[in-house]
Chains A and B, each alone.
Chain A
C-alpha cells in the first residue's frame, strides 16, 4: 500500500504547486486541462505499476483482435497476400501511429505464417516508418529473408487517387485479408466495398467516428473508438500495456461520475436552487 501512496501524494503536490504558481511559472486559464492531464496520467501510471507487480488484468475478448490471426491464417491457406492499409494521414495523427503499431503485430503474424504482406501508403514519411516496423517484425520472428523492400510502397498523397490505386491493387491481387487500421475519411466506404466485392475478410479500426458506420456496414470486424487504441496494447500482451488500458477504463468511470454530477448541478442551476453554473469551469481561456 505504501508504494502506491506516491500516486496519491504526488498529483496533489503538483496541483498545489500549480495553484501557488511560483514565479508566474504556469499559464493562467488552463487549469481544467492541467488537472485532467495530471489526474489521468497518475491513474494510468498507478495501474501500470500494479500490473507490473503481478496483478491479473482481465481484458474482455475483442472479436476483431482475435480475428486478426485467423485472417492472416486464411490468407496463408489460400495462398493470397494480406493487404494492410494504414490510413491516409501523416504521423502527426495518433490514429496513424496506432495503425503502424498494429502493422508491427500483423507483420509478425505474416512472418510466422509465411504469407505475403502488402502495405500501400499514402504519405512518404509513413512509408519509411512502416518499412522499419515491418523489417523489425520480420527480424524479431527470425525471418528477415521473407522481408522485401517493395512490401511497403508509396502510392500517392491525394485521398481519392490513393483510394483508386488501392482499389486497383485489391481487384488485381485479390488479397484474402484486408486490414484498414488508421485515419480514414470519405474514401473508407470505397475501399471497404471493393474489399467486400472480392470476398476478402476485412478488419477495420479507426478513430474517425464518422467513418465507423461505413466500416461496420462493409467489414467483417471493426474496432470501434478506443478499442482501436487499445488493440496495440492488447496484441502486445505485456502487463504494462494492459495496466494502461485498465487505468484508461477507470478514468472513463471518473468521466461518467463527472457527467452525472454536472448533469445534476445543471438541473439545479436551471431551476434556481444553485447559483453556480458548473459548465463555466470547463471553458478554456489561456492567457499568455
Chain B
C-alpha cells in the first residue's frame, strides 16, 4: 500500500519535461497514424448557426471574408477558411477577400490556391472572387470599409483597378455586402467588426476564431451581434464535417465539378490528436490532485 502511495506521490511531482514528452507522443501518434484513432465529431449549436447563416445565402450574394490570422494560428483557423470558401463557392456567392494582418495576405492566397488546385469549383478571379491588398491600420481599415471602401482601396492585389473588375461594380461600402465573415486570431478581430461596421450598419456578421478568443466573443454571440461562432479547431472540424456532407449531397449543383472527389478537411483528422492530448492532461491533473492529497495527509 505504501509503495502505491509513493508511486502516486511521485506521479504527482513529475518533472515538466516528462509531461512535455507524453504530450508530444499523444499529439504525434494520431497525426502520423490517423486511422488508429478515429472519433466521430458531433456539431455544436454555434457551428450549426454559422452553417445555417451561410447556407441561406443565394447565388450572386456578396460576402466579405476578412483574414486576420497568421502562421502561428494557421492550424486552427486555416481549415475553417477552406471550408468557408468551399461552402461559399458551392453556392455561387461572390467572395471579397480582405487581409487585416500582413500574414493574412499570405493565408488568403494559400487558401484560394488550395481551393483552385482542388478543381472542385470552376472559379475565376474578378468574377467569383477578388483579393484586396493588405493595408496597415487595423480598425481604421474596418471603419474605412464600412463608410467608403474606395477611399481605402483602389485596386486589387494584382494592381488591377476596381473599374476593371466586374464584381466591384456597385461595391462602395459595407451595406453593399450581404454578409461579413471574420477569421481572426487577435486584433483587429470580430469585436472591431461588430463595433465599427456590422452592428452600426446592420450587416450580418459571423466569425471563426481561436479557442482562446471565444470567451471574449461569446457575449456578442449571445446578444446576436455575431451570428454563431466557429471556436478554434473543434469548430473548424465541425464546420468541415457539415460542409463535407453538404457538398456530397449537392451532386447536381452547377457550381461543383462532379468529376472531382471531395476530400474531408485537415481539422477533422487533427481532432483525434487534440482529444488524446486533452484526455492526457485530465489524467495528469487527476494524478496531481491524488498526489497533493496524499502529501497533505503525510505532512499532517
Residues of A within 8 A of B (CB): 159-160, 185-186, 197, 209-211, 283-286
Contacts and interface: CB of A to CB of B under 8 A. Distances in A.
A251 B87 CA distance: 46
B186 interface: yes
A186 B16 contact: no
A81 to B, nearest CB: 24
B213 A210 contact: yes
Contacts of A285: 200
B200 A210 contact: no
Contacts of A286: 200
17 contacts: A159-B72, A160-B72, A185-B187, A186-B73, A186-B185, A186-B186, A186-B210, A186-B212, A197-B16, A209-B215, A210-B212, A210-B216, A211-B212, A284-B199, A284-B200, A285-B200, A286-B200
Nearest to B71: A160
Contacts of B199: 283-284
**Interface hub of B186, B200, B212, B216 (most chain A Cβ within 10 A):** B212
Contacts of A210: 212-213, 215-216
Contacts of A197: 16
Nearest to A160: B72
B186 A185 contact: yes
A186, A211, A284 — which one has the most chain B CB atoms within 10 A of its CB? A186
Tell which of A185, A210, A284 has the most Cβ of chain B within 10 Å: A210
A117 B213 CA distance: 33
Contacts of A160: 72
B109 to A, nearest CB: 20
Interface string B159-176: 000000000000000000
A185 B216 CA distance: 12
Contacts, number: 23
Contacts of A186: 72-73, 185-186, 210, 212
Interface of B: 16, 72-73, 185-187, 199-200, 210, 212-213, 215-216
Nearest to A188: B212
Contacts of A283: 199
A211 B199 CA distance: 26
B212 A209 contact: no
A285 B202 CA distance: 9
Nearest to B217: A210
A210 B213 CA distance: 6
B273 to A, nearest CB: 19
B135 to A, nearest CB: 17
A186 B199 CA distance: 27
A185 B200 CA distance: 27
Contacts of B185: 186
Contacts of B216: 209-210
Nearest to A183: B187
Given A186-B72, A209-B215, 17 more contacts: A159-B72, A185-B186, A185-B187, A186-B73, A186-B210, A186-B212, A197-B16, A209-B216, A210-B212, A210-B213, A210-B215, A210-B216, A283-B199, A284-B199, A284-B200, A285-B200, A286-B200
B199 to A, nearest CB: 8
B259 to A, nearest CB: 42
Contacts of B213: 210
A257 B16 CA distance: 48
A197 B200 CA distance: 47
Contacts of B212: 186, 210-211
A285 B195 CA distance: 11
A211 B187 CA distance: 14
Top 5 A-B residue pairs of the complex, sorted by shortest distance between their CB atoms: A210-B216, A210-B212, A185-B186, A210-B215, A209-B216
A122 B199 CA distance: 33
A88 to B, nearest CB: 10
A185 B73 CA distance: 12
A130 B72 CA distance: 29
B284 to A, nearest CB: 14
Contacts of B72: 159-160, 186
B96 to A, nearest CB: 24
Contacts of B215: 209-210
A269 to B, nearest CB: 15
Nearest to B202: A285
Contacts of B16: 197
